[in-house]
Structure 1
Amino acid sequence: MATTTPSGVQGTGAGGGAGDASQNHATASYGPGGAAPMTHRQIMEALSGLLLGMFVAILSSTIVANALPKIVSELGGGQSSYTWVVAASLLTMTASTPLWGKLADLFSKKVLIQTAIVVFVLASASAGLAQNTGMLIASRAVQGIGMGGISALTQTVIAAMISPRERGRYTGYIGASFAVAMVSGPLLGGVITDTSWLGWRWCFYVGIPFAVIALLLLQQTLHLPLLKRRVKIDWAGAFLVAAAASLLLIWVTFAGDKYAWLSWQSYAMVGGSLLLSLLFVLVEAKATEPIIPLWLFRNRTIALTSLASMFVGIAMFGATVYLSQYFQLARGESPTMAGVMTIPMIVGMFLSTTLSGLVISRTGKWKIWLCAGGVLLTAGLALLGMMRHDTEYWQLAACMAGVGVGVGMMMQNLVLATQNQVEATDLGAASSSVNFFRSLGGAVGVSVLGAVLAHRISDYVDDGLDKLGVRHGGPTGGAGSDIPDLEKLPVPIRHVIESAYGHGIGDIYLYAAPVALLALLLVLCVREVPLKTKSGIEQDSTANDVAAAYLRQNGAHGAEDGAAGDGYGAQHAAHAAQAGYRLAADDPEPDEPLTTSRHSVTGTVRNAEGKGVPRAAVTLISLSGRQLGRSVARKDGRYGMDTPGPGSYVLIAAADGHQPQATTVNVGDEPLSHDVRLAATSGLAGRVRSTTDGQPVRGAMVVVTDERGEVLATGRTGEHGEFSFDEIVTGTFTIAVNAPGFRPVARPVEVEGQGITRIDVELAAGARVQGVIRAGVDASPLPDARVTLVDAAGNVVATATTGEDGAYGFTDLDAGDYSIIASGYPPVASGLTVEGAGPDSHDIELHHPDE
């Protein structure tokens, strides 16, 4: 297992071996069956199918942007049909995202993402065969379901394979896929639409081959451990959240066009959406397997990042949708050139996603990137708000780049911050919750900003035509009007239309900028938590071992609820044990009762020193392994939970940085007081210093081997000479350290099972001997002379050959007596004593006996 510590040291755990460095130091993940770490190559192979699927999903959502006017026109649709072709996929993608995420926590992630791809392929083929707008809208709705699954499940699978600390280096690939799809989508759609022998139907067909390839790649490369669980799908919750989101999006889609913003239709839809949302909350509070666990939002970080994601979604989708329209209708560019001119934003997004991910992997610091991204996004949108149809392109390019960099810094890192707060069993729900709010924000943003844009353009067109003395009665782009064809308009009217679109689209960015500012304020309130160094699979595997071993040792074989023989009890216990970091950020008030039931368990979770462990997860399970209750310890380590009644139960406590502990408790008719003591995880850490001046040695190679000489971990020291290896098992090992200019050192070390074992290593600077070999009457430097260094015991230590200047040198020598033998002329031997840094000018003269 590879880890990256906050000090910047990278190391490999057991089984690291002497393979490719990129493989040994890059991953913290498990391969097939959870038995061995995944190499960098295995991760990249699995990512190839995942990213190709995500690429297809994003491509399909952008490729039709420039083709929709022609598509709707050929199918005989109007403005309402145009709106619904866009809104249908957004509606279903937003509403289905939580369901996909929850299913990912219950079923095989590989099967689910393959199912999503199949749904997408079938819907794309149906959309390409559409003979009317009704069939097209229905196909787009089903396509949105597939796209929602691909987007949500890709994030979930990546989180399962790679630890949060290491995940940053791979977000660059996600950013690259996103950027390429965003750039190529509009360009490809424009080219396909303008190519007579292809036609717009190929905008839907073109993604099918890529999706099929992604399906085959996933079958061959994605191998995740299959966790079989008894599951219960919260269909009521799924229906209510879908209905609430859909009704809200239908309202913002048609408000201001079909009916006024303040009308009985608006009141009915908003009221209905709020009522459905309330019912959803009530259902989720009682559901055994909620579609969106409400406890997630008791965590301050998750609540803030979800809201911030919604506001980022408004800004991101608004910027990408309306910039293309600006370049086509305000500047008269072709669809292809409109896509080309938005490249600065996409490049900024790609670069910021990649670079921020790499730096986060090295440093573990992520909040600064969210804050910087919020500043750039807000400033970029505000500056775009001042654009007009004749604004210099270089100014627009700079603003677009700022928006792209801001979105790139925030989008993936908001997901990372959320995933870092939850355990493996809830990665799907947490990831999909963030994606849900981002998609919801995007759908709301596109609809609301579109409605605002229509009215602003209508006003500007009226004003412009009034100045020309022209009566407004044509298709000039007002609310509810068709999009104008600039080529068919007289030059004066065309200038009015271009000016109106330039000014109107600029105005909507002024509306979007405060929304981005809200996202910035939210991330400023997020509390930075160190990134975990375990992947989701690794957390699941560790917990499974602890809980299953406990149940086996105590004779709990799953007799209850028909659990015997299927592993149900052990797996539920595993999920309970690994919930150590499922935390509520806001602890209960100190005087608030822990529990009120007389059949309860209370106590304190303590560490090895007897101090309370804050925010530890305490889970109560039956002897069959079925979860019965869960509590989060307060800041002083106190916990409390109710039990079903008198009887014997298993209490499992877990916390980040500690080994899970399971004990049997017997509950009677009175509350039971039971303290739990957690031992810190074992590991090895220390510093490397120089014996000369005591200064830390940076970049020293540290190698840990077992008694057989097998390499268990390797890494380099950080800025202050520090190194750290997590989860070195107990036992006796050898630690070897070497660095340029120092003598290598090897030391035995005993790693104990209680916390981190520390060992400091001192490196002695290697002595050196150097000089010049001279020969002849004039004592000129002698090239190609052979110089041999022999120690006091007569052993050859090193040999060297002089250069053109006759110089030789030996480094990294121990103190002591040596002999130097130089040959080229008759050999000459000389003795010297090496002390300290050693002599720098041990010159030797060679000559013939008769000279």
Structure 2
Amino acid sequence: MSTGGRPGPQEVSSRVQLIATIGAILALALASIDVSVVGAAMPRIADDLQGLGLYAWVGVSYAVAAAVVVPIAGKLGDMFGRKPVLLVGLGGFVIASWLCGIAQTMPQLVGFRGLAGLFGGILMANIFTLLADIYTPERRTQMQGLFFGVAGLSMVIGPPLGGFITDAWSWRWVFYVNVPLGLLAILAVAVGVPFVRTGASWRDIDFGGVLTLVLGVVPILIGLTLTGDGHAWTSPEVLGLLVGGALLLVVFFLVETRRASNPLVPFPLFRTNQFAVMVVVAFFSAFAMMGTTFYVPLLYQGVLGVSATHSGTLLIPMTLGLMLFGPVAGKVMTALPRYRLLAVFAMAAIMAGLLMLSSVGPHTGQVVPIVAMVLIGMGIGIAFPMATAVVQSAIPMSQMGAGTSQIQFWRMFAGPVALAVLGSILSGQIGVAGQAGVLGGGGVPPAQLADALHDLFLTSAIAVGIGLVATFFLKEVPLRDMSMARKASGGRGGAKGKTVTA
């Protein structure tokens, strides 16, 4: 079937919509669970490949590549359509996973994981934009909540799944299992996702923006990673990377605003109230999520004396909050004209949960941290899909992919920033040697560790407070029905052309 413009939600049949959603969920699950599954297998991998010195860089290479490619892939989705970009991401992810499985040395694995991160970022940049193409506002926001729940669930099931696969088969199967799942996702996307035939060509790509963005973001992310790994902020390695990256980002800004005819990042979007506020909300809610996920197990094990196995299951309350409150938030947003109050509530809940965690001591018990985790999960479960839905309703249709991927980029960028800042606080309180003692089962008394984590979670709460203040300035706009928006814009998307639906 051909039409003169992109298909709106009402123009896509239920069967096609279902198949497209299955493909998107599989793609999201692959990109989300991959990190936590591989993390559980890393000790065995490092031992087998005799590469303990590069242990951390297997994760760093993936995270850096995924973060830097997100704004690029979002723009490409606007230019060439979501379907071909998703298919490239899935195909590349399958190939990269297979290459990781056959890696013979640790440097090879680091390189192949960077390649996997590149294609994983392509997927993350376009999955949530795809929902805007095939769902009406209420259903879109509910589905975004469900999708974020899938991503949150991967944090819980990933480590035990990775451990099981490693013990039952081998660590190589941690990567090989992505191949059949990825092929199934490719089939679903190929069949279910509408294809937009655009007039864009490779000459329209902002190559200058791509180059300067990569050269600016990569050093900053690596520098932040080094600070969280025990390097001082004032060390030559860290300062050189951070300052060099910042200068190149200034060049990127100049290229985008003065030379690029089709800029990678449309900077005028930051003058839009809804976009600017939701970027702040996305960044600080992700900051809180990373800090909670990474340091709450340390709180349970080092302060409350809970076993490592049991401490992992105690992250489930946060995950349940993510899964349950996301779809609820979708219904509330479409029914509540002043949905700014919902954003205020979400950030306040996250802040309250972090303040509760900052009060936990050796004799507190497990009730307080569990309640805190529920509050944090509830707030994140509302804030994540809300940020995406509000931005998609406030920006021009031609910039839908670029705008949505910016929200995802700032979420991903918040991860290394959180680990760098919070890791510096912890090491400053107990020392790098003290951290090794905690992880090894001795050295730091629970009371001393509790004091260090008090400052850590209090800092997180203050950071989230910035996001809370920003929500008071949000100006509500009606949630956009994509079919009506396309009719109003004459059927134009990221580029002129026609749509061919599967």
Shorter-chain TM-score above 0.5: yes
2:343–2:382 CA contact under 8 A, matched in 1: yes
Structure 1 counterpart of 2:317: 344
Contact kept, 8 Å, 2:228 with 2:423, in 1: the verdict is: no
Which among 384, 395, 400 is matched to residue 357 of structure 2?
384
> Partners of 2:110 and 2:159 in 1: how far apart?
20
Render the CA deviation track for 1:677-704: whole Å, top value 9, x for unaligned: xxxxxxxxxxxxxxxxxxxxxxxxxxxx
Distance 1:540 1:449, change over 3 A: same
Unpaired segments ≥5 residues, structure 1: 1-28, 460-475, 487-492, 548-567, 575-851
- After superposition, the C-alpha distances for 1:772-803 in whole angstroms (9 at most, x for unaligned) are xxxxxxxxxxxxxxxxxxxxxxxxxxxxxxxx
- The amino acid across from 1:509 in the alignment is F
Query: CA contact under 8 A between 2:391 and 2:404: conserved in structure 1?
Result: yes
Residue 319 of structure 1: which of 272, 288, 292 is its match? 292
Residue number in structure 1 paired with 2:81: 108
Deviation at 1:47, TM superposition (A): 0.8
Q: CA separation of 1:514/1:69 partners in 2, compared to 1, >3 Å: closer, same or farther?
A: farther
Q: Tell me by how many angstroms 1:106 deviates.
A: 0.7
2:35 aligned with 1:89: no
Contact 2:230 2:427 in 1 (8 A): no
1:280, 1:143 → 2: CA distance?
A: 25
Asked if 1:521 is matched to 2:493, the reply is no
Q: Give the superposed CA RMSD.
A: 2.9
Q: Distance in 2 between matches of 1:144 and 1:104?
A: 18
Decide which moves more: 86-95 or 39-48. Answer: 39-48
Q: What's the CA shift for 1:303?
A: 1.8
Which residue of structure 2 lines up, in the alignment, with residue 357 of structure 1? 330
1:236 CA displacement: 1.4
Which letter does structure 1 place at the counterpart of 2:222? I
Shift, 1:503, TM fit: 4.9
Q: CA deviation at 1:253?
A: 1.5
Q: Are 1:389 and 1:503, in contact at CA under 8 Å, matched by a contact in 2?
A: no
Q: How many residue pairs end up in the alignment?
A: 492
The aligned counterpart of 1:843 is: none
Question: Counterparts of 1:309 and 1:36 in 2: how far apart (Å)?
Answer: 29
Q: Tell me the SS of whatever aligns to 2:114.
A: helix
Match of 1:296 in 2: 269
CA gap 1:259/1:235 in 2 versus in 1, 3 angstroms: same
Question: 1:185 offset after TM fit, Å?
Answer: 1.2
Distance 1:458 1:441 in 2: 24
Partner residue of 1:75 out of 29, 33, 49: 49
Matched with 1:511 is 459
Aligned to 2:73, what secondary structure does the other structure show? Answer: helix
Which has the greater radius of gyration? 1
- Correspondence for 2:191: 220
User: C-alpha displacement at 1:36, in angstroms?
Assistant: 6.4
| CA distance in structure 1 between the aligned counterparts of 2:46 and 2:231, rounded to whole angstroms | 23
Structure number with the bigger relative contact order (C-alpha 8 A, sep ≥ 6) is 2
Seen in structure 2, the aligned counterparts of structure 1 residues 541 and 163 have a Cα distance that, compared at 3 Å, is same
Q: Contact 2:223–2:239 (CA<8 Å) still a contact in 1?
A: no
TM-aligned CA deviation for residue 97 of structure 1: 0.3
Find the aligned partners of 1:482 and 1:112 in 2 and give their Cα distance.
46
Q: Secondary structure at the match of 1:185?
A: helix
Q: Assess if the C-alpha contact under 8 Å between 1:34 and 1:225 holds in 2.
A: no
Question: 1:229 pairs with 200, 213, 221, which one?
Answer: 200
Q: CA deviation at 1:411?
A: 1.0
Structure-to-structure mapping, 1:460-499, within 5 angstroms:
477-478=434-435, 481=436, 484-486=439-441, 493=442, 496=444
Which residue of the partner structure matches residue 403 of structure 2?
430
Q: Give structure 2 stretches of 5+ with no counterpart.
A: none
**Post-superposition shift, 1:187?**
2.5
Q: Which amino acid aligns with 2:263?
A: P
SS at match of 1:289: coil
The residue aligned with 1:275 is: 247
Q: Distance in 1 between matches of 2:337 and 2:31?
A: 30
Please tell me whether the aligned partners of residues 165 and 532 of structure 1 are also in contact (alpha carbons under 8 angstroms): no
Number of the residue aligned with 1:783: none
* Aligned 8 A contact 1:190 1:336 in 2: no
Once the 2 structures are TM-superposed, how far is the Cα of residue 330 of structure 1 from its aligned partner? Answer: 5.1
- DSSP 3-state at the match of 1:131: coil
1:365-376 equivalences in 2 (<5 Å): 365-376=338-349
222-231 or 295-304, which deviates more: 222-231
**What are the superposed Cα offsets for residues 68-107 of structure 1, whole Å, 9 maximum, x if unpaired?**
34433443334x5233222221111111001000100111
Q: Does 1:157 align with 2:159?
A: no
Distance 2:152 2:367 in 1: 20
CA change 1:256–1:58 in 2 (3 A) is closer
Structure 1 residues 502 and 188, CA gap change in structure 2 (3 angstroms): farther
The structure where helix makes up a greater share of residues is 2
Structure 1 89/451 Cα, relative in aligned 2: closer, same or farther at 3 Å? farther
1:520 alignment partner AA: L
- Residue type of the partner of 2:253? V
The structure with more strand, counted as a fraction of residues? 1
Query: Does residue 176 of structure 1 match 2:149?
Result: yes
SS at match of 1:229: coil
TM superposition shift of 1:354: 1.4
Q: Corresponding residue for 2:489?
A: 543
Asked whether 1:63 is paired with 2:37, we answer yes
Q: One-letter code of the match for 2:189?
A: L
Partner of 1:470: none
TM-score by length of 2: 0.89
Structure 1 pair 362/226, CA: closer, same or farther in 2 (3 Å)? farther
